[in-house]
Structure 1
């Protein structure tokens, strides 16, 4: 009997010890996680106030052109920001289509001016060499390359490009050319319609605000292609996609059906607020943009675009884990007030 009692007490002591260790480990992990989120916020605050010492290099003259700031007045009508990581094979066809369209339009419309900003996100291939070839051909006033030195992630590449652009309108698009470039006119049209309505509504001032002074974000969407995608994808990819959409809904709320399409347009004023607040650098920065639009009161419009799947996708099964982790960061960082939203 005494032996049984001793064993019971030993088991109870072991259970208490184990429970204490699990609790300590959980509290330690929570503290580490919260400190990690806090450090992201601190780093972000420093980046917001730091002056840029970056330069664009002119391969023709080897001159260094200072990077402009999103806080400067617009110098171009539109800026196209293209993040590129190991894209030496897919980039040329996308740039050929892009620059062909832009040149034809600038020749037809005197008020239309443009720049293409290619952000090399630490590529290990010859992406930068390909990009600088286009700078030589089209001149540095129209095509520029920003070298990040090491790989940070698509979100950070786009953020840096946005912060150093000169356009009244800023369009982000993928380096693979999956979205037909002429669809930018659909997004542009939505912004023009919004601005005309806003100008009519605000008749209290004699000075008409510039296009870049209005705040609006227009998201290209592939939601209308969802049925076709469901029919052609593997069942587990559809399952993961549906699950991801559910988690996105919980993290950012309703409003935008396709947050992940890489074809988005912003007015300069909207981009200034959004990209100086953005913290995520990789997979879910698109979701964070939707969340920030809601927090900052920036109107959002979703527009259907033509999209073709291009071979060479960098999204892997393990990417889903990273995406879910970043969605948790959004909810905890902003939800607990660790990340501040600056207006």
Structure 2
């Protein structure tokens, strides 16, 4: 009997070790295959000819979508992803369009377009968007309908790839960031472009690019990092714990440089957007982190700019969202780290 009692634990240990090994290998195979499928899908999307279009509710005609590879036709494009935002979107759009119209009236070279990307909403978001197209005409206001929910990252990617601006700004549908703060990002981008001109003024390429803002690669990220102490004081302890943990994982994934990767207020020159959004693979929560990662890998200068931000009721971030974010951060490390995801320059 004594022999059996000694052998049994060893047998159980071997069995458990074998099961753990099988589970680990299964998880590894699943992740590898999942990453490979994302890579294959991305390759198909890059090579596919776009058949997207904007619907004009005034003329009932379909307007072909432009491409990020086309020359710029506007000074600035504003891309707004919207999923079930029928209540918050109108107020944000009115404030944004009032600002854009005022700048356009005082400066004729300030041409703009607003692109709302409806991410498969089940409410009246699409109807709200078309009401603004009727009021402001399709040259200045456009709606892209994704048909089914694909994620904020994918909505922004589609908007960026079909925009016409020299500068491209992504912003949230809730209007949490003050729209006039785009001037802060705009100013920093101009300063960065001037530095690039001075650094490379002797080269023939730069001489050709001196007057062309859209050909320089610069990214400016709105940041709420300066509000962190206030946020820590008002949030529940477990939310602070989750956020601190998430920021640590982001730091390990994308590296130092940008303190607030998740602020939904980011501006890109056309050349930077072309490189970044033809490479982005994540479609949901952590595409922002992937953008920071890609900027570093592609050598695109990044500037972090403090912006005015206020919390608007109706946030869609839940505990399950944090779990999904952590999974996507793992995908970034594995996808690029193992060379499964190629970066196209």
Aligned Cα root-mean-square deviation (Å): 1.2
Work out the CA distance in 2 between the residues paired with 1:14 and 1:262: 51
Residue by residue over 1:88-132, the C-alpha shift from the partner in whole angstroms, topping out at 9 and shown as x without a partner, is 000000000011111111111011100000000000000000000
Instruction: Name the SS for the 2:59 alignment partner.
Output: coil
Structure 1 partner of 2:249: 247
Mark the runs of 5 or more structure 2 residues left unpaired by the alignment: none
> Equivalent residue for 2:144?
146
Q: Which residue among 20, 23, 26 is the counterpart of 1:25?
A: 23
Q: How does 1:33-182 map to 2 (within 5 A)?
A: 33-182=31-180
Q: 1:264 aligns with which of 260, 266, 270?
A: 266
Q: CA deviation at 1:11?
A: 4.2
For 1:77 and 1:194, how far apart are their aligned partners in 2?
Answer: 17
CA drift at 1:150 = 0.5
What is the CA–CA distance in structure 1 between the aligned matches of 2:266 and 2:217, rounded to whole Å? 14
Shift in Å at residue 49 of structure 1?
Answer: 1.2
CA distance in 2, matches of 1:246, 1:9: 44
1:165 aligned counterpart, secondary structure:
coil
SS of the equivalent of 2:280 reads: coil
Cα shift at 1:48: 1.0
Distance of 2:332 and 2:8 partners within structure 1: 44
The gaps in structure 1 that reach 5 residues or longer are none
Residues of 2 paired with 1:9 and 1:254: CA distance? Answer: 52
What is the DSSP-based 3-state SS (H/G/I as helix, E as strand, rest coil) of the residue aligned with 1:251? helix
Task: Give the match for residue 188 of structure 2.
Answer: 190
Match of 2:302 among 297, 300, 303: 300
If the length of structure 1 is used for normalisation, what is the TM-score? 0.97
User: SS in structure 2 opposite 1:338?
Assistant: coil
Distance apart, 1:225 and its partner CA: 0.7
Aligned residues: 341
Q: Secondary structure at the match of 1:168?
A: strand
Secondary structure of 2:131's match?
Answer: helix
Deviation at 1:226, TM superposition (A): 0.8
- Greater shift after overlay, 186-195 or 16-25? 16-25
Partner of 2:248, secondary structure, is helix
Shift of 1:179: 0.3
Matches within 5 A, 1:205-224: 205=204, 206-207=207-208, 208-224=210-226
* Alpha-carbon offset, residue 10 of structure 1: 4.4
In structure 1, the residue corresponding to 2:284 is in which secondary structure? coil
Cα displacement (A) at 1:202 = 3.1
Task: Report the secondary structure of 1:220's partner residue.
Answer: strand
Instruction: Indicate the residue corresponding to 1:284 in structure 2.
Output: 286
Question: What are the superposed Cα offsets for residues 224-251 of structure 1, whole Å, 9 maximum, x if unpaired?
Answer: 1111111111111111111111111000
Q: Cα offset for 1:269?
A: 0.2
CA distance in 1: counterparts of 2:248 and 2:172, whole angstroms: 25
